[in-house]
Amino acid sequence: MDSYITAIGTAVPQHGFSQLQIASFMAEALQLDEHNRRKLQALYRLTRIDRRHSVLPDYGASPGEYTFFPNTPDLEPFPTVGTRMELYRREALPLALAAVADLYGDEKPPIQPTHLITVSCTGMYAPGLDIDLIQALHLPTSIQRTAINFMGCYGAFNALKTADAFVRADPSARVLIVCLELCTIHFQKKTDEDHLLSNALFADGAAAVLVQSRPDREKPAPAFRMRTFFCDLLTEGKDDMGWIINDHGFEMTLTSVVPTVIRQGIGKALSRLLERGGLAIEDITYYAMHPGGRKILEVIEQQLGIDPAENRFAYDVLRKFGNMSSATVLFVLKEIQTHLLSESGTGNILSCAFGPGLTLESMILEVVNPEVKVKRLKEEVLNSDYAD
């Protein structure tokens, strides 16, 4: 039995800011002198990000007009973990619901899922987002729930693997995945290179995915059949990417060594992924790389021998939204799905993401366009136990 991604929905908060706006906020918050302000602006320009979104309006506000951070020159007293988690709990549900609404579109009544998987690494509370979603969406209280927490940018892959297992075990299963990340609530007032880089990349966003045992013939968008997965650890980079809870928020470690570690390990890992799927790199038509940053995307291209144009969907998401942790790769898949609406193409998608560990998650999806959907559904009926 196969499993298919049949729909993808995405959402970002209403507050959107240009990179230069955010750089100005950071320069004020970090109390940088003119020389370091220019260096910070150069760093932000090099990210290839045009715009990012946040649940906080502060990143576009002038000093003295902040609503979350203190209106003091040094932002003291700096928000604690408790203050940030209170904000997360207030803002998480509305953004998650916006992604689910985008997933279902005009479908009435929406397909009722049998399973719910929530993914987040930027906040936690209990009863959690899963229960809030059940109540807000009027889902059955008996729905099977799974929470995937604190895995970072590759969290969506573990959600998809879990959904794949549910559907293969029970063909009637309909799995709703919701990835919700509020990265910007964890701004750290530090000037070391790791924190400057993290503050230049991360943003808020949510994505929702529906996974079923067959493509939906009524939807014009193509479905994505989940062909194979592969995960590996590049332990030489264990200390170069981390996510730690401290007294004043969650602190990201993201060193400049990460692209080098990825360069050394990605070729072997993706070769094993292709081998497991019985494919060669020539069989890949589209790429859905998690845009962890410009340098990471460039390293992937060098190791796979592809050009930036083939990796354009990742660059588009990076430019428009920045890095939204676990939700980001689903934004990339949504870009591909939207592109295919006008092309009706087929082929395979290679996708990967990285996170603490240093973890490399990867998968191959097969594009199933509307014509192929109908053909496959007819074949399923003919081959079923109910066929004459």
Active site amino acids: 153
| CB 172 within 8 Å of CB 114 | yes
Cβ-based neighbours of 364, under 8 Å, separated by 6 or more? 227, 228, 273, 274, 277, 279, 284, 348, 349, 350, 351
Structure tokens at 95: 């953004």
Q: Residue 231 forms beta bridges with which residues?
A: 361
Cβ-based neighbours of 227, under 8 Å, separated by 6 or more? 277, 348, 363, 364, 365, 366
What amino acid is encoded at 321 in this protein? F
Q: How far apart are CA 58 and CA 232, in angstroms?
A: 39
Q: How far apart are CA 10 and CA 98, in angstroms?
A: 8
CA-based R_g, the chain, Å: 21
Could you tell me the end-to-end alpha-carbon distance of the chain, in angstroms, rounded to an integer? 21
Whose tokens are 């660059």? That residue is: 315
| CB 132 within 8 Å of CB 307 | no
